Amino acid sequence: MTDRGRRVSTQAKLIFWKEVEYVTLNKMNFLKNEAVVIGIILTLFTASVLIGVSQQIQSKSKNGDSLLKSPKKIGLIYLYGPISMDGAPSAFSPNTAESVIETISEFTKNNTIQALIIRVNSPGGTVGASQELYSEIIRFKKETGKPVIISIGDVGASGAYWTALAGDVIFANSGSMVGNIGVIMSNLNFGEAANKWGVKMNTLKSGPYKDILSSWRDMTSEDKKILQSMIDDVYDQFVTVLAKSRKLSYEDAKTLADGRIYTGNQAKQANLIDYTGTFSDAIDYTKKRVGIKGEVEFVTSDTPPFQEFLQLWKRHSSIAFNIPSLFNSTEAPSLK
């Protein structure tokens, strides 16, 4: 390489390292400024939370209460939509039986909860899921000794009413649909349509009743006998729970359990519910029963501490920042 070539190479290297130095210094200055901004935001963030907590303490102190005393609370669960164990919550079924059971289990461990209100707006669902909900409510009552109040909105029927029977007291509006006590099983039969269009279903089975609910053939008399015995067994379980919960004789309970739907007024007259009243009436009753005066604090789920921290800041902060919806608390579910 010539001397001229060496000089050009050396100059190029110097220019390169000058560029590296320039970019590095600018990046460090940027990070330094960014750190200052983040520090200011965190300082304001912390101050706003402390102010909010201070305001809450002062507000509670005026009523002779304190945040440190773990004020009495009421657990609130919404049982909306068809009841089933499987699947994830959706707009049509906001909470599965499993999610409700999990929440009840959380409430069992929460010593600040003095009572549990379950708001029901459901036409029913599967037998197993309804039984598990019923059993979990009974377990909550036995382990905590705390009352469970049921409030029926538009409808509390079939499996939803079975679940409601676990409560200590049942409220329903005078025009609510209540009851529909019974068991049903059905299936479609495409046999004639299939024959008309020359469609055939080939079935291989391990036993004569493996395809007992097949839509491609007529039920045999033996099929119907087996299925009816299942229906009768589950129905007997339902009537037994009804009689025990509502303090009825088995025969009186069976008379009421003919599948019909009752209005809230009719249900009250038949001793299927305790009171006709609104959701607010159920809340007032619960507060009085556990000795809560004034406004009540509801617990709707086991909220992680960090999420509570963010919710508290959002309520009290005057800083114009938006918390991402990911951290927003879940509001009461509703059906479309």
**Is 303 buried (19+), middle (13-18) or exposed (0-12) by CB count in 10 A?**
middle
What is the CB-side half-sphere exposure of residue 3 using CA atoms within 13 A? 0
Q: Coil, helix or strand for 217?
A: coil
Task: For 129-239, list the strands marked E by DSSP.
Answer: 148-157, 169-172, 177-179
In 3D space, the residue among 117, 102, 121 whose CA is nearest the CA of residue 160 turns out to be: 121
Residue 210 annotated as catalytic: yes
Residue 72 annotated as catalytic: no
Contact (CB, 8 A) for 144 and 138: no
In 3D space, the residue among 39, 37, 45 whose CA is nearest the CA of residue 317 turns out to be: 45
The rounded radius of gyration (Å) of the Cα atoms in the chain is 32
* Tokens linked to 95: 């909470």
**Is 112 buried (19+), middle (13-18) or exposed (0-12) by CB count in 10 A?**
middle
Helix 97-108 with 127-144: angle, nearest 10 deg: 10
* Residue tagged active-site, from 18, 205, 210, 244: 210
What is the DSSP track for 51-74? Answer: HHHHHHHHHHHHTT--GGG---EE
Contact (CB, 8 A) for 285 and 149: yes
Contact (CB, 8 A) for 112 and 71: yes
Contact (CB, 8 A) for 117 and 283: yes
Residue 157 CA to residue 122 CA, distance in Å, equals 7
* Residue tagged active-site, from 158, 176, 245, 317: 158
Residue 322 CA to residue 300 CA, distance in Å, equals 24
- The residues annotated with a catalytic role in the active site are 158, 210
